[in-house]
Amino acid sequence: MRVLIRGANEAEIRRNPIVRQRQITLCRLRQLFPEPSEAVEPLDIYRDLPVVAGRPAVRLNMIASVDGATAVDGLSGALGGSADRRVFAALRSLADVVLVAAGTVRAETYGPAKVPIAVVSRSLSLDWTTPFFTAASHRPIVVTSKQAPPAALEQAAAVADVMIAGDTEVDLGDAVHQLGERGFRHVLAEGGPSLNGALAAAGLLDELCLTLAPRLVSGKAKRIVAGPALVSPPELRLHGACEEDGYLFLRYRFPGR
């Protein structure tokens, strides 16, 4: 969540330097790279979105402990802090659509959001009565394949826009292309690790926003990307680094982005 002065809206912050300075004072996020800077605002440092020719750009946002765990007791929220929540909110506000796996929606108990959310699910094993579907300000998009169960397809169509991408498995390349046809130019992927692995294998990731939490977790939690090893692991380029309360906020761009 962004730290705002009580009673001050976004427009007031932008035009009033006194209010702006008070807001910045409350924000302790500091930039380490590419240029050192104290008290930066997440919206400002994440505003330079990746751009890719021919399809929407895909930015991945994940959090992990220093030993690589993406969750504590199955939930990523236990790893986060106030700065991570501000970064999360900023990334969502800059995206046209969020792309997320059904398992993450279930585990993290997603609710209605201010940005459209596209849920990837081959089996359509979702609870269509949750507020995520019934109270959404933007009708969710459900991305599935031609082999999805007909009864579940009918249930999905009643509360969401259904997107068919792929025959037996969900074709993420086709899904991203279809999102572009709907006018979405900037996709924010939020996991889970298996979806991230599929996006990486398809060459669809353009930027990785990784929050490194100062926690040791151990256990069997997955890494931020799960799946078969990549045939040619890309060498990522550090695009930005910030810090607050021991949390590191790292941005990596993929080759050619």
Compute the distance between CA of residue 184 and CA of residue 96 in angstroms, rounded to an integer.
Answer: 5
Q: Give the domains, in start order, of the chain with CATH numbers.
A: 50-253 (3.40.430.10)
Task: Report pLDDT for 36.
Answer: 97
Residue range 71-103, pLDDT digits in tens: 998 889 889 999 999 999 999 999 999 999 999
Task: Report pLDDT for 60.
Answer: 98
Is residue 239's pLDDT more than 50? yes
Task: Report pLDDT for 74.
Answer: 85
Is residue 247's pLDDT more than 90? yes
Residue range 156-177, pLDDT digits in tens: 999 999 999 999 999 999 999 9
